[in-house]
Each structure stands twice: as C-alpha cells, then as structure tokens.
Structure 1
Amino acid sequence: MVRRFALLACAVLLSACQSNQVNHDFDASRDFSAYRSWSWKAPALQYRPDDPRIKSDLTEQRIRQAVADQLDQRGLRPAAAGARADVNVQAYLIVEDRQQQVTTNYGGGWGQPWNGYWGGPMYNETRNVTYKVATLQIDLLDGKDGKLVWRGSDEQMLSSTPKPSDRSAAIRETVGRILANYPPR
C-alpha cells in the first residue's frame, strides 16, 4: 500500500515538472513604444472564483509589487497622481480543480516462452488524482480607449503549505515569465 502511494506521489510530482507554456497575445496594430506610464485599473486583482479562501490582501500585495517591478524594468513608470496613464493594468488569479488519471501496473510474468513463465498475475490500478492549479493573467489596456492591447498568463500547480517567502518568490517568478515578452517584438 505504501508503494502505491509513493508511486502516486512520484507521478503527480513528475506531472508538475512539465513545463507550462506562457501564453501571450497582443494587438499588432498598436505602437507599444508610445506607452510610457501605467496605473492599476480598479479592481487591480480579480479572483475567480470569488472565494474568501482564495482572496488575500497579502497575495494581492505580492502580485502588485511584482507587476510594478517588472513594468519598471521595461521602462514603464507609474502615472502621476490625477494623470491618465498610457496603459491600465488589471490582473486575475484563477484557481481551478483539475484531475489526472494515474495508472499503476503490478505483477506480471517473467521468463522465456521456451522455459515457461513464472511470477504473479498482472493487474492495473487506475485512480483519479485531484489537484489545484492557479492561473495568473495580466491584462494591459490602452489608457485612451480602454481596449485590451496585451495579455499574458501562466499557470502553476498550487503547493499545499508553502512558506510566505516561497509564495513571494513564486509570484515574482511567474510575473517575470508572463511579462518577459512585453513589449512584443
């Protein structure tokens, strides 16, 4: 029984190591070099589902800081108070349950056909493993017309009990991957 759970844990961990493709989309007709300032569109971070177990001021603070740092590295500065920004930023944190089927094979025969087979009977065990995946999506909207000009997203399997420093690092890394292709080339 312990062996089965160990194999299950290994399968889940290996599936978590698969590299996710960061998704990007943008309006090719826009001149991204004209965007110099940014501000948050209210609400700055939206949660899907709107669940109090997911919402956290600490998570929002981490995401806002990571986005601000990345935009600063790309030459965008926060808009002056009362001034209209060239780009408005809005983020979404989407948490969903996913399932994966894990099949484990046990037993089977060994040997050669001319010497006969030996060993126990072979059987398979298939189970569903449920896990949570968080998707962070960052939208940049034109400050003049309010239309979406750039969108990026990345997803990550949620860890059950990470430390606050681990959460901060994971958010910084995720935001960095998402905004790596801004401005589009």
Structure 2
Amino acid sequence: MKFFNYVPLFLIALLTSCSSIKVQTDFDKSVSFEQYKTFAFYKPGVDKVEISDLDKKRVLKSIETTLLAKGFVKSENPDLLINFFTKSREQVDVNTFNNGWGYGWGWGWNPWMWGGNQTSVIRTTSGTLFIDLIDAKKKELVWQGEGDGEIFRNQKNKEERIQEFVTKILEQYPPKVK
C-alpha cells in the first residue's frame, strides 16, 4: 500500500524531469533582486531581433504575462528593462542500418542474408531564447536566462511552445542566492 503513496510523486518527478527545454541562467551576485518591481521592454534591443513580427509579438506577450503573474508591474519608468534575442541551428542525423536477419559466418557470401542497407536522414531545428533583465538606472545586465529546445516549424500551437520556453526560463527568476 505504501507503494501507491509514492506513485504520484514519481509521476510528477518523471514529467518535470523530461522537459524538452534546457534552461541555464546567470546573474550578478552583488545585486539585490528584491528592489525590482516594475519593468518595460528595451525597444532598441527588441527591434533588432531577427524573427517574424508575429513571433516577436508572441514572445513579448509571453514575457509580459509571466512577469505580471510574478507580481511585476509594467511601467513607463521601470526598474528593469527586458530584452530578448534568439539563435537557431539545424541538426542533421544520418543513420545507416542493415535490415537483414544476420551478418553471416565470416567472410564471403551468405545465402540467408536478405535486404540491404537503409539510410534515414532526420533534420531537426533547435533554438535558443535568451531573456535579459537590465537594471534601468545603471543600464547594466543583472540577469540572463536562456532556454534551449527543439523548434517545430509547422507547429499548430506556436503560442503554447513560446509560452513554455518563457515560463521555463523565468521560473529561475529571481535567482536563489546562497
């Protein structure tokens, strides 16, 4: 019976450990993050991001929604300026395998060998979303989060995938200082 008490914990751990987005963060350890309560987007930086305007709007909306849920307030006179940028890369995996029954007995021809080699090519696109938090007064980067994961070109639910990236990254803010 005790086994069933641990099943929900195991499932939660399994589901959270299998995230398809890898997150890393870095921050200025001398900064007190409790001082930051308001934010605005850093327009010159956001304007330079080389993604479609539709995706740019999706990322901005996701960041705004996540920060508001954390208790931040959007302001004309912000404590933090928010910038983001992206990188992507294509990976090509080529696999060749023999689809026969076996490899035979040593050198030479094997009459029981059938089929032949098959090659598969799998192309995936991986992307990284960087989110920068900049102290508005000092104009210094104080926190950076990056999320790396697979991008699906013909994905129907782009908003959900972008929100997943943003949420996973901003879960790490504010940093836990030891």
TM class, shorter-length: 0.7 to 0.9
Cα displacement string for residues 95-149 of structure 1 (whole angstroms, at most 9, x for unaligned residues):
22223343434224289xxxxx983169655555333222111010111211111
Paired amino acid for 1:170: R
> Residue 45 of structure 1 contacts residue 90 of structure 1 at CA under 8 Å; is this kept in 2?
no
Cα displacement string for residues 48-92 of structure 1 (whole angstroms, at most 9, x for unaligned residues):
xx4xxxx3221111111110011112222112x3x2x21110011
The alpha-carbon distance between structure 1 residues 144 and 73, as it changes in their structure 2 partners (threshold 3 A), is: same
Aligned length: 154
Paired amino acid for 2:64: A
Note the residue ranges of structure 1 that are not aligned, 5 or more in a row: 1-16, 112-116
Question: What does 1:131-142 correspond to in 2, within 5 Å?
Answer: 131-142=124-135
TM-score w.r.t. the length of structure 1 is: 0.71
Q: 1:69 aligns with which of 65, 71, 74?
A: 65
Question: What does 1:9-158 correspond to in 2, within 5 Å?
Answer: 19-43=20-44, 44=46, 46-47=48-49, 50=50, 55-79=51-75, 81=76, 83=77, 85-109=78-102, 119-120=112-113, 129-158=122-151
Identity %: 29
Q: More strand per residue: 1 or 2?
A: 1
Paired amino acid for 1:58: L
> Residue 21 of structure 2 contacts residue 168 of structure 2 at CA under 8 Å; is this kept in 1?
no
Q: Which 4+ stretches in 1 moved above 6 angstroms? A: none
The alpha-carbon distance between structure 1 residues 18 and 137, as it changes in their structure 2 partners (threshold 3 A), is: same
The alpha-carbon distance between structure 1 residues 105 and 97, as it changes in their structure 2 partners (threshold 3 A), is: same
Looking at structure 2, the residues matched to 110 and 97 of structure 1 have their Cα atoms a distance apart, in angstroms, of 34
> Residue 95 of structure 2 contacts residue 121 of structure 2 at CA under 8 Å; is this kept in 1?
yes
- SS for the counterpart of 1:178 is helix
* Paired position in structure 2 for 1:167: 158
Looking at structure 1, the residues matched to 138 and 120 of structure 2 have their Cα atoms a distance apart, in angstroms, of 50
> Residue 132 of structure 1 contacts residue 158 of structure 1 at CA under 8 Å; is this kept in 2?
yes
